[in-house]
Amino acid sequence: MTRDLNGKKIVVVGATGVLGAEISSQLKSMGTTVCAVVRNGDRLDSSITEYATADITDNFALRNAFATLAPFDGVINAAGVVAFGTLAELDDVTLTNLFAINAIAPLVMLRESSPHISAGGFFLNISAVVALSPLSGMAAYSASKAGGWAGMVGATRELRRQKIDVIDARPPHTETGLATRPIAGEAPKLPDGLEPAFVAARIIEAIQSGENDLPAEAFNK
């Protein structure tokens, strides 16, 4: 369904990250009230009207955060982590963190936020191109993103009765600096990525136009 975001209230999870901050800024310029769920509110800018703090791997904290900000018209999850290296090189802690943040947390966010999303609203998860095109040396990261993607696809039908759109966005490599901050390993040489402003604008366009899936090809200029 198409939607006008002017006057709507949207929660951005990970609003202090490069892409999350860009999305928040663009939404505010459109007349949207932007709220945030973050670990540390000190880094938020003036785009954010209200925020709640939570570690996204803490289910109870997420539940309280969404209840504090409720009600709202949509949620955008822009939080995530990356790790590099073969499966043989990755330790148990890294594997656990990848799946906790990239796969389990988005599902918990959807579960805990959906009761507070108004009819006609949405939940958008930003996964990655590797969710459906896994890469050697990034197998665990790819799998964690694929888990989040599968959860969004499965939940789409589950939330139709509530008239909530569930959207998965899988942008190609974007220049957010995330690759320079892996939780393990070292990034291989990567091609130049997309500009965060372009990716943010494309994601917002999809929300407005009612697109229910945003594959990597949707970000072609």
Interval 178-214: pLDDT, tens: 989 999 999 888 888 999 999 999 999 999 999 999 9
C-alpha 15 chain-centroid distance: 10
Paired tokens of 24 = 């928040």
Residue 86 has pLDDT above 80, yes or no: yes
- CATH classification of the domain holding 122: 3.40.50.720
Paired tokens of 131 = 């969710």
The verdict on residue 51 lying in a domain is yes
Structure confidence by residue, pLDDT tens digits, 138-176: 999 999 999 999 999 999 999 988 999 999 999 999 999
Q: Taking the model in full, what pTM does it have?
A: 0.96
By the 8 A CB rule, do 26 and 69 touch?
A: no
The region, left, alpha or beta by phi > 0 then psi within -120 to 50, assigned to residue 14 is left
Residue 221 has pLDDT above 80, yes or no: no
Domains: count for the chain:
1
The verdict on residue 131 lying in a domain is yes
Rounded Cα gap, residues 144 and 148, in angstroms: 7
Question: 187 lies in which domain range?
Answer: 9-219
Using 50, 70 and 90 to split pLDDT, how confident is the model at 120?
Answer: very high
